[in-house]
Amino acid sequence: MSSLQAVRKTRSAIAMGLCYASTGVGLLALALILGALLWNGFSGLSPDVFTKMTPPPGTSGGGLLNPIMGSLIMTFLGVMIGAPLGLFAGTYMAEYGRNSKLAMVVRFINDVLLSAPSIVIGLFVYEIAVVPLGHFSALAGAISLALLVVPVVVRTTEDMLNLVPGTLREAASALGLPRSLVIRHVAYKAARAGLITGLLLAIARISGETAPLLFTSLNNQFWSTNLNAPMASLPVVIFQFALSPYKEWQALAWVGALTITVAVLALSITARVLGAQRTSS
């Protein structure tokens, strides 16, 4: 009897030990990646990175100004196009559709789009925006990013609006406010922190995206703000520079990688903190 108990206890202790070890593995992986980024990227960090253009191959110096600007422009445009669409679609599902067939189908499709491979989105935009125009463009890049923003915003909008208590809406309706104003002035306000969280998550998601930009906005060695022409972006430049044989380019790729990771992690941590406030209040 007691020996059986000992066996069961040992078995449990081993299993739980493995759980501790798994968590260790996860944390170790995070530490190793962030450590490598700091180690390799920090030394190259200088004002030049943010003030100078990308250098030609094999020369030292230069910075990442044009890809950083390009990333900012395309991310901004992508959010401007994608976020309203996502917001309205999410609103429909939470406020009007809720249990309708349309809402159920959209919810399902949206969840699938949420995890669909981004490179496929890139191919889609290539077919609809690059082939007809005959050339790569920043606008096509922004469209592909917008398509990645939509499902994230739809999901968070719906979830956050569902958290708004129905009594709030009833109170507003009882005062004679029409439904659209109830949604816009009461529900949106109550869910504001959550909606912003969704937006930040979407920005974090697209600012590191590379695959869909590879054949929509392509790349540009030079300064360009022309939306109808190819435009450099940080992830694509990292991709190109890291795979190049030039030491200087590889060093810049690490600096770019550090920059982008810090920005993306800052965004997602902010989103998380905001989201935590929302659900705990």
State in angstroms the smallest separation of the CB of 187 from another protein.
12
The residue among 65 and 177 lying less far from another protein, judged by its C-beta, is 177
Q: Decide whether 215 or 223 has the Cβ nearer to another protein.
A: 215
- H helical segments located in the chain: 2-41, 47-51, 65-91, 101-115, 118-125, 131-133, 138-163, 166-174, 179-181, 188-190, 192-207, 211-214, 234-242, 247-280
Report the 10 Å Cβ neighbour count for 77: 18
Read off φ and ψ for residue 61, nearest 5 degrees: 85, -165
CB of 193 to another protein, least distance (A): 18
Residue 278: which of 162, 109, 179, 136 has the closest Cα? 162
Least separation in angstroms between residue 245's CB and another protein is 13
Q: Which C-beta is closer to another protein: that of 47 or that of 131? A: 131
The set of residues, in sequence order, having a beta carbon less than 8 Å from that of 139 and lying 6+ positions away, is 77, 129, 227, 228
CB of 6 to another protein, least distance (A): 11
Rounded to a whole number of angstroms, the minimum distance from the CB of residue 46 to another protein is 20
Nearer to another protein, 102 or 171 (CB): 102
Q: Within 10 Å of residue 50's Cβ, how many Cβ atoms?
A: 13
Judging by beta carbons within 10 Å of its beta carbon (0-12, 13-18, 19+), is residue 224 exposed, middle or buried? middle
Neighbours of 281 (CB within 10 A): 6
Considering beta carbons, is residue 73 or 206 the nearer one to another protein? 206
Q: 51 or 267: whose CB is closer to another protein?
A: 267
CA angle (62, 233, 68) in 5-degree steps? 55
The smaller minimum CB distance to another protein, of residues 221 and 250, is found at: 250
CB-based contact 150:118 (threshold 8 Å): no
- Burial of residue 2 (number of CB atoms within 10 Å: 0-12, 13-18, 19+): exposed
In the complex, the smallest distance separating the C-beta of residue 2 from another protein, rounded to whole angstroms, is 13
Q: How far is the CB of 104 from another protein (least distance, A)?
A: 10
